Structure 1
């Protein structure tokens, strides 16, 4: 399958490597020139569960995209605030039957995607895989994970199941979901706690979990997400979601991992996706007249930290 990874940061690199090793024709598209140059010159380097590997995968900047070869599948891994521009940039690669799979963090991305792609070709999902960007052209991949996905268009269930099969054949443990919005909100609760709190406190997930207030903070944030989700027809099991979030604290699994927002802001001095996670809950709370004070404050604190650090 001809697959384009649109956004080849840490997670995009993981999927690119695994799909490439699984025998697919993969091309990476990323807007970071140093990253693209490093991959071109030296291959995409990864520490893959303790093994150092190098995969030579074609890579290009968005400005270099041409329509010579159309994609069978485009997997979106760009940052949320870059989504619309990336969709415009990869438009020459989109044919009538090209499928789009969005695996971005955050809520509501389908509203942007459907401006560019027919609904029957849009698939959304989330992933519990982790990855870390060490530097240009180099990532760290560890642990196990999974993918859930669902079609947005009518009568596209078979196509969604086939996409899950393609991903699973490359070891990505993908499955079809008939309630993906539940899974997206559930994952957003992880991002809406671990990502922003670890970035503000400058800790990994296990270190945050070891603090006395951690449980109460997680419960409060999850309740805010759940109140908003309920107005959108998604009924979160709060106790289960809290337990799911707190499973991230375990240092024997992924507790020592620094979430993607930490990597963006603290490590790489980049602007974050907070407006599409806690910020989205804050906006929706105002729309539905639901108080979301923790999400309001966490969003503002991350923006303060972006300003303080001069993130770009």
Structure 2
């Protein structure tokens, strides 16, 4: 099948390059000018694995307005706050036979996708796969070849022939997909995962492998997991894992699969980009309030991340250097 990846950031590049390496036809579409222009200038994207063995991979990348392809499957990997613009700019090449797969972080994207595609053609997924965009045109795949996994589910919760074909091709690309028939439970399981790993690693500027070594990691993680599960139970959402299994997943991914990984939220905040905390911890808190439950720890962490975003607008290092220089 022919794929078009909408959003050629870290995860979009990883999915697309792995599918391309497996022999499938892949195009990339992005709105970030430095990314598109740099890849054009380099005649490809530089790909490393755990910071080593950098290679130049030729890829086809376009701005939405320039793309003339006719893909069978769209893989969407934008940031939540940029999705509406991406969909609007790409809508000129959408059609009613295309399927959509989105493994974006957080919640809120499915409603936007449904404005363009019927739910029968929408697959939601979650990716436990670490990837870092070092700079425009330069991406680092975290973990050994074949590391990481993903869950995927039809919005209708009824897999069809096309679904099985997509899952098979993802398997050929070493993305290790697990097909479920629990749509909201599949998506929320990753939201809960990210509500622990993304926020805590970001606030304290540590990798996943460093976080999991802390004596208080389990206490903090279990507290956040318990609140999130309380919310989901009130909302009638059955998660893929039990509370205990959710923590075990966090342990395994942090210790074995991606110990060297800085989560995407840390990557955003370190580059002074907006984070997706409102779509993760904020989503859990807001969903809970609909059912008269306050997930206070999630709300507290959301506000801490926003304070950290605000603090990043001040050039503290320059201020300290100027003070030292005057002494």
TM-score range, shorter chain: over 0.9
Q: Give the distance between the partners of 1:262 and 1:112, measured in 2 at CA.
A: 25
Aligned residues: 307
Aligned residue number for residue 264 of structure 1:
268
Aligned residue number for residue 23 of structure 2:
23
Q: For residues 93-124 of structure 1, what are the alpha-carbon distances to aligned partners after superposition, in whole Å with 9 as ceiling and x for unaligned?
A: 21220111111011242222111111211111
**3-state SS of 1:140 partner:** strand
Does 2:273 match 1:255? no
> What is the TM-score with the length of structure 2 in the denominator?
0.88
Does 2:200 match 1:200? no
Q: Which runs of 5+ in 2 are unaligned?
A: 315-327
Q: Give the distance between the partners of 1:132 and 1:102, measured in 2 at CA.
A: 18
Is the Cα contact below 8 Å between 1:47 and 1:53 reproduced in 2? yes
* Larger displacement relative to structure 2 (90-99 or 107-116): 107-116
Asked which structure has the greater CA Rg, the reply is 2
**3-state SS of 2:195 partner:** helix
Aligned residue number for residue 247 of structure 2:
242
| C-alpha deviation, 1:47, in angstroms | 0.7
Q: Which runs of 5+ in 1 are unaligned?
A: none
**3-state SS of 2:104 partner:** coil
* Larger displacement relative to structure 2 (102-111 or 130-139): 102-111
Q: For residues 140-184 of structure 1, what are the alpha-carbon distances to aligned partners after superposition, in whole Å with 9 as ceiling and x for unaligned?
A: 113201222121237543222111012112222223211243232
> What is the TM-score with the length of structure 1 in the denominator?
0.92
Aligned residue number for residue 222 of structure 1:
225
Q: Give the distance between the partners of 1:249 and 1:166, measured in 2 at CA.
A: 27
Q: For residues 201-221 of structure 1, what are the alpha-carbon distances to aligned partners after superposition, in whole Å with 9 as ceiling and x for unaligned?
A: 111122222333221110110
* Larger displacement relative to structure 2 (227-236 or 162-171): 227-236
Is the Cα contact below 8 Å between 2:155 and 2:183 reproduced in 1? no
Q: For residues 16-71 of structure 1, what are the alpha-carbon distances to aligned partners after superposition, in whole Å with 9 as ceiling and x for unaligned?
A: 11111122221111222111111111111111364322111111233x344x3322
Does 2:128 match 1:128? yes
Is the Cα contact below 8 Å between 2:157 and 2:182 reproduced in 1? no
Does 2:51 match 1:46? no
**3-state SS of 1:222 partner:** helix
Aligned residue number for residue 171 of structure 1:
174
**3-state SS of 2:194 partner:** helix
